[in-house]
Amino acid sequence: MAQVVKRAYRYRFHPTSEQAEELARTFGCVRLVYNKTLAERTRAYTSEGRRISYAESSATLTAWKKTDELAFLNEVSSVPLQQALRHLQAAFAHFFARRARYPAFKSREKSRASAEYTRSAFTWRDGRLTLAKMRQPLDIVWSRPLPQGAQPSTVTVSKDAAGPEHERADRRKLARAQRDLARKEKGSANRQKAKLKLARVHARITDRRRDFLHKLTTRLVRENQTVVIEDLTVRNLVKNHGLARAVCDASWRQMRSMLEYKAAWYGRELIVIDRWFPSSKLCSACGALQGEMPLAVRVWQCACGALHDRDVNAAINILAAELAER
């Protein structure tokens, strides 16, 4: 009898802007489903002494998708969401068998962003891999070939520490160019060359950021009749040294400007929610307002039992605020 050997192979790939957006949505939904399911299983276990099965969790996920608050879960492939439930089921099995600690919630900052696709959620044809919800194959860097005749059974996509952020991708080049300039003698020809090299790196960062923002804002405006955003105090946010670089790289002010004039071009409505609206601290399930909530808190649970991803909860509240004004 022939023996089937399973092996894991790891490769890097460079997503397009559209693929990066799809993966970001999927990562967020996977984390949300995992955390909400963990909260529900914890509640049942601590208050009722009851263990929730994978089948029950799967049925709950189906019910969530039918609600207005979590309907966005339908926008990503269902397979990674189901796989998140299976991973949580395995984590509980290890816990009850005393082989591991109690499952922990996934943090946006500390947990690895990943999504697992089984055979029904990707196509593998002629050495090209296309994930569900994507129109074109991934641009994979084949550092080594797959064994002849190998057929992938599962694909796990994860985001490395660098991510897709534009400035980080060129940060080393930028730092090197700045050091080279600092070492050159003032007024020399070599210093002039170093200044030109540094300018080129800055230009590359700016061009990549602008290209990404144009594609993102155009897609948002074309696909929606109304776009709702929150008015943020960017000037105050960049005073936070832990956030300044990420905020500048995101270019929120430039993004808002693009949304404003493109909404006018396409005849769409852009609504800006007041900056004092407590979108992050307001429970989107029961409406209770929480106390102080530092930016380090990315996942929180309300007294009503609802578990929230900070950003997803804020988005739901912003949408609700817009609908309330109509």
Q: Which tens digits make up the pLDDT trace of 267-318?
A: 999 988 887 888 888 998 898 998 888 877 878 888 898 888 888 888 888 8
Give the pLDDT confidence score for residue 63 in this predicted structure: 95
Q: Look at residue 6 and tell me whether its pLDDT is greater than 90.
A: no
Residue 3's pLDDT band (boundaries 50, 70, 90)?
low
Report which residue type is found at 146: L
54 domain residue, yes or no: yes
Residue 151's pLDDT band (boundaries 50, 70, 90)?
confident
Q: Look at residue 254 and tell me whether its pLDDT is greater than 60.
A: yes
185 domain residue, yes or no: no
Q: Which of 13-27, 157-171, 199-213, 249-263 has the lowest mean pLDDT?
A: 157-171
Model pLDDT for residues 72-129, shown as the tens digit of each residue: 999 999 999 999 999 999 999 999 999 999 999 988 777 788 999 999 999 999 889 9
174 domain residue, yes or no: no
192 domain residue, yes or no: no
63 domain residue, yes or no: yes
102 domain residue, yes or no: yes
Number of structural domains in the chain:
1
The pTM of the full predicted model, rounded to 2 decimals, is: 0.55
Q: What is the mean pLDDT of the chain?
A: 85
4 domain residue, yes or no: no
- Of 85 and 147, the one with more pLDDT: 85
- Of 89 and 12, the one with more pLDDT: 89
Note every long-range contact of 131-138, with CB atoms under 8 Å and residues 24 or more positions apart, other chains counting: 131/22, 131/77, 131/155, 131/157, 132/77, 132/79, 133/22, 133/26, 133/76, 133/77, 134/18, 134/19, 134/22, 135/18, 136/16, 136/19, 138/13, 138/15, 138/19
The mean pLDDT of 125-150, rounded to a whole number, is: 88
Give the pLDDT confidence score for residue 162 in this predicted structure: 46
236 domain residue, yes or no: no
Give the pLDDT confidence score for residue 167 in this predicted structure: 56
The mean pLDDT of 167-189, rounded to a whole number, is: 82
Domain that holds residue 66: 12-158
Tokens matching residue 326: 């109509």
CA distance 272 to 232: 10
Residue 161's pLDDT band (boundaries 50, 70, 90)?
very low
- DSSP category for residue 226: E
CA atoms within 13 A on the CB side of 317: 25
- Of 143 and 81, the one with more pLDDT: 81
